[in-house]
Amino acid sequence: MILSASRRTDIPNYYSEWFINRIREGYLYVRNPMNVHQISRIHISPDIVDCIVFWTKNPMPMMDQLDDLKGYNYYFQFTLTGYGKDIEPHLPDKRKVLMDVFRRLSSRAGNGRVIWRYDPIFFTDRYTPEYHVKAFREIAEALQGYTDKVVISFMDLYAKTQKHMKDIRMIQLKNEIFYEFVSELSAIARKNKIKITSCAEKLDLSSFGVCHNCCIDREVIEKITGYKIGGKKDKNQREECGCIESIETGTYDTCPNACKYCYANDSLEKVIRNRQLYDPYSPLLCGAVTEKDKITERRVKVLKEGQISLFS
């Protein structure tokens, strides 16, 4: 199975102690967001986990714990954008801190295990195409040799996102300006020896050198594990999403990053309340089992299908 850690919250930044404790215990609990009294117990020992996919904007708190992941295959999706504190209020300085954190993580884990995400992209009077091009170029040059791939995507307005973004006036680009922008990003990535891909985009940008990408990526996982991976498309994701099936380990309304474009937080007040329930030794992330809860062992399976042939 593939573990997603996590689309719902930044586990490496805020909950790495909890996650490493769950690795040591060999299991964790996940509460069903659609049925709060239904809890899945998930076995996560190395013999059943094919790969762990981490999603983060700042893995620095987890850097000293990577040795605890020995025996597991994993990679990081590291979001590093040009937005300021008005959009990403609780992140460290990009130039002074996060670019170096990216390089340090890549040096520890390997550049094939750290994927750069410059997303979501949206445009305002401040965040113009020219602004993004300048920021993208600066980051790409800083990360050359430290990552093989960058993922871009363009803003999708979910209900929660609309609420957070209500005071931000986004601008729709004309087609010719938009495609010129994409072409510029592609050229910058190519110059810095970074493959550029898109995430869950309906648009075909292949003529600009931008391939469709999967975040839970069979090809990346096979390269890391050294064996063929089974598994179907994740039916819980959008139609345009090409990710293969994974098991989510996170919890909604627990991420203090408080990014304006976030779809996983309903409100900062909920995040604060849930954070008060955080116990790094609990099987549940930000919560406790009650007498009303029903715990069910989730059926999981190894997705390994066979060794990759040198001639395949």
pLDDT tens digits along 107-132:
999 999 999 999 999 999 999 999 99
| Residue partners of 261: CB distance under 8 A and separation at least 6 | 87, 120, 122, 155, 161, 164, 165
* Cβ(16)–Cβ(62) below 8 Å: yes
Tell me what the pLDDT averaged over the chain comes to: 93
Degrees (nearest 5) of the Cα angle 234, 255, 106?
Answer: 70
Name every residue whose Cβ is closer than 8 Å to that of residue 273 and which is 6 or more positions away in sequence. Answer: none
Which residues have CB under 8 Å from 247's CB, separation 6+? 1, 2, 3, 4, 30, 42, 298, 300
Q: What is the pLDDT of residue 148?
A: 96
Q: pLDDT at position 260, please? A: 94
**pLDDT surpassing 70 at residue 311:** no
Cα separation, 117 vs 255, in Å, equals 18
Question: What is the Cα 112 distance to its own chain's centre?
Answer: 15
Q: Which of 129, 64, 46, 24 is nearest to 300 (CA)?
A: 46
Can you state the percent helix, strand and coil of the chain, rounding each to 5? Answer: 30, 20, 45
**Amino acid found at 263:** Y
- Report the number of secondary-structure helices (H) and strands (E) in the chain: 8, 13
Q: 6: cis peptide before it, omega within 30°?
A: yes
In the numeric block, the tokens 């954190």 are attached to 101
**Interval 138-188: pLDDT, tens:** 999 999 999 999 999 998 766 667 778 888 999 999 999 999 999 999 999
Across residues 277-301, what is the average pLDDT?
96
pLDDT at 53: 98
Cα–Cα distance measured from residue 254 to residue 265, given in angstroms and rounded to the nearest whole number: 7
Predicted local distance difference test score (pLDDT) of residue 309? 46
**4: which strand partners?**
53, 248
17: left (phi over 0), alpha (psi -120 to 50) or beta: alpha
Q: Is the pLDDT of residue 1 over 90?
A: yes
